[in-house]
Amino acid sequence: MLSRVLGFVRDIFIARLLGASPLADAFFVALKLPNFFRRMFAEGTLTVALVPILAEERQKSEEDAHAYLNALAGMLLAVLLIVTVLGVLMMPWLLLLFAPGFHDEPERWQQALHLARWMFPYLALISLAAMSWAVLNAYRKFSVAAASPALLNIAMIFAAIVLAPSFHNPAEALAVGVVLGGVLQLAIQFPALKRIGWIPKPTWRPRMPAISKTMLLFGPAVLSIAAVQINILVGTILATLLPSGAVSYLYYADRIVQLPLALFGIAMGTVLLPTLSDHIAQKRLTEARDELRQGLLWLLWLTLPSMVGLLCLAEPIIRTLFEYGKFDAQDAKATSYALQAYAVGLLAFCWARVLSIACYAEQDAKAPMRYAAISVLANIILALLLMKPLGYVGLALATALASFVNVGLLWRRIHRQHGGLFGVECIRGVSHTILGTLLMFLVLYGFGHMWAFPDVGKLTQFVWLSLVIVLAAGTYFVSTWLLGGRKTLKMSRAKK
């Protein structure tokens, strides 16, 4: 929550500095390059490949676990050095792949190329930090890893406030903030790693059996665990072919939908992975299935009202957070349409994350890889079909719909392997969640008719938005509590 709140503050400053201008499009595309590779090869993928193998090595001894981690750190350092150098040298080709629409616009092309080269070393820094996060999570130490992204936001806010006035191009100051944030996120890991007893001493042992098993998981995981990110990237690439502003609208909308995704979906997956891996390593399959069922039900209980809230309050949220400086009311309205389209897939984004985690805890990488490939193909087809009639909104909607394809395939795999996850008590809890969400929607609808969102006054807008969120959330939590939804969620742990 701390990281995401600071992320909103960061985006407010970015919106004030850059708005939804061609320079903003160039900055977001340049930032997308290291972030895409980070999400693909570092945060999610490295975690799901490392944690199950580390759980096995720890069953032998802590010395074996530390030897495995040192060997993995050595390989990661070597690969990152090569990738960083090649990425900077080959940036024009990478940019042509990620933003083909910029090539015919010299100003946006040159700005994006310049900024991307500044920020690409962030990939190496954050990848090393991501390995540390995975190790800490495996040892049930979640706080440092969870709070680390806040340092990136702090560094970018510092750059926007302190450095930007000294730069002719404010986007360059933000690029410096990105790299500074990577340094801070890596530096904070070492004291935490020392507390769990591992001081990184990279070695070169690529033929270690545990390293080979990690690579067997890592390769397919690149596609499967990052399916949502690939789909979002497809939208960004196609958005560069649309009029100026489309990339920025999708970026700001994605930032909003990432809040509930991170707080609920990613957080649940982070906690479940070491838990499921330990259960499976010790052959406690019933306990693993109970944990997975409980996680999915809690995600439904949290994300369904969040989805409805984003659909109803998209424009007030965007206007309250981002309508400053160069980001005007027209930009806010355009961004709210993209947010509504992304919100349709919020539950699927979260469930896909957790269901993929369940497969990786079993060291099954092939099934999620196949399903993710199908999901990406569905996203491309839907994006091309919806892009012409709906523009950038069609791209966001395609990403949301493709995630449901991924969830359906993952669910079928779990059902075939382990039987049904939801029984009568679970269905009852789902019905309570749906009814509570419907009552919440009626409160949102009625409040909006009694007191419309104010057009002026940031303080008034903030008060209005805070009040409606509190009323809606209170209605949902009280109604589901009275209906027995919380009790049903707890009972689902013991009843199939």
Q: Residues 332-391: pLDDT tens digits?
A: 899 999 999 999 999 998 898 888 888 888 878 788 888 888 988 898 899 999 988 998
**What is the pLDDT confidence band of residue 9, given thresholds at 50, 70 and 90?**
confident
Q: What span, in angstroms and rounded, lies between the C-alpha atoms of 48 and 58?
A: 16
Amino acid identity at 105: E
pLDDT in tens, 461-472: 889 999 999 999
What pLDDT is recorded for position 416?
84
What pLDDT is recorded for position 495?
46
Q: What span, in angstroms and rounded, lies between the C-alpha atoms of 148 and 130?
A: 10
Alpha helices per DSSP H over 391-457: 392-418, 424-450
Q: Which residue has the tokens 């892009």?
A: 387
Closest CA to 288 of 272, 300, 271, 299: 272
Q: Are 173 and 164 in contact (CB under 8 A)?
A: yes
Alpha helices per DSSP H over 282-324: 285-322
**What is the pLDDT confidence band of residue 48, given thresholds at 50, 70 and 90?**
confident
Q: What span, in angstroms and rounded, lies between the C-alpha atoms of 53 and 34?
A: 27
pLDDT in tens, 267-302: 888 788 888 888 887 778 778 888 888 888 888 889
Query: What proportion of the chain, given as a percentage, has pLDDT over 90?
Result: 29
Q: From the centroid of its chain, how far is CA 78? A: 27
Residue 225 has pLDDT above 50, yes or no: yes
Instruction: Taking residues 97-123, report their average pLDDT.
Output: 84
Query: What proportion of the chain, given as a percentage, has pLDDT over 70?
Result: 93
What pLDDT is recorded for position 424?
67
Residue 295, CB half-sphere, CA atoms under 13 Å: how many?
27
Q: What span, in angstroms and rounded, lies between the C-alpha atoms of 311 and 304?
A: 11
Contacts of 121 (CB under 8 A, 6+ apart): 34, 84, 88, 179, 182
Q: Are 76 and 47 in contact (CB under 8 A)?
A: no
Amino acid identity at 348: A
Q: Are 393 and 249 in contact (CB under 8 A)?
A: no
Q: What span, in angstroms and rounded, lies between the C-alpha atoms of 352 and 329?
A: 34
Q: Are 121 and 182 in contact (CB under 8 A)?
A: yes
pLDDT in tens, 169-207: 888 999 999 999 999 999 999 999 999 899 889 999 988
More confident residue, 423 or 349: 349
Contacts of 220 (CB under 8 A, 6+ apart): 365, 366, 368, 369
What pLDDT is recorded for position 229?
63
Which of the 8 DSSP states describes residue 452? P
∠ CA 469-470-475 to the nearest 5 degrees? Answer: 100
Q: What span, in angstroms and rounded, lies between the C-alpha atoms of 87 and 108?
A: 19
| 358 CB neighbour count, 10 Å cutoff | 27
Closest CA to 236 of 107, 111, 110, 99: 99
Closest CA to 24 of 114, 108, 122, 105: 108
Instruction: Taking residues 51-69, report their average pLDDT.
Output: 88
Closest CA to 425 of 366, 375, 476, 489: 489
Instruction: Taking residues 421-438, report their average pLDDT.
Output: 81
What pLDDT is recorded for position 40?
67
Instruction: Taking residues 467-483, report their average pLDDT.
Output: 89
Length in residues, the chain:
496
Residue 198, CB half-sphere, CA atoms under 13 Å: how many?
28
**What is the pLDDT confidence band of residue 321, given thresholds at 50, 70 and 90?**
confident
**What is the pLDDT confidence band of residue 71, given thresholds at 50, 70 and 90?**
very high
Q: Which residue has the tokens 């997975």?
A: 292
**What is the pLDDT confidence band of residue 496, given thresholds at 50, 70 and 90?**
very low
What pLDDT is recorded for position 267?
81
| 100 CB neighbour count, 10 Å cutoff | 13
Q: What span, in angstroms and rounded, lies between the C-alpha atoms of 278 and 393?
A: 42
Dihedral of alpha carbons 452, 453, 455, 461, sign: positive
Residue 232 has pLDDT above 90, yes or no: no
Closest CA to 204 of 78, 65, 85: 78
**What is the pLDDT confidence band of residue 75, given thresholds at 50, 70 and 90?**
very high
Residue 395 tokens read as 């791209």
Average pLDDT value over all residues in the chain: 85
Q: What span, in angstroms and rounded, lies between the C-alpha atoms of 17 and 164?
A: 9
Which of the 8 DSSP states describes residue 454? P
Q: Are 157 and 9 in contact (CB under 8 A)?
A: yes
Q: Which residue has the tokens 């072919």?
A: 241
Q: What is the pTM of this model?
A: 0.72
Residue 421 has pLDDT above 80, yes or no: no
Residue 77 has pLDDT above 70, yes or no: yes
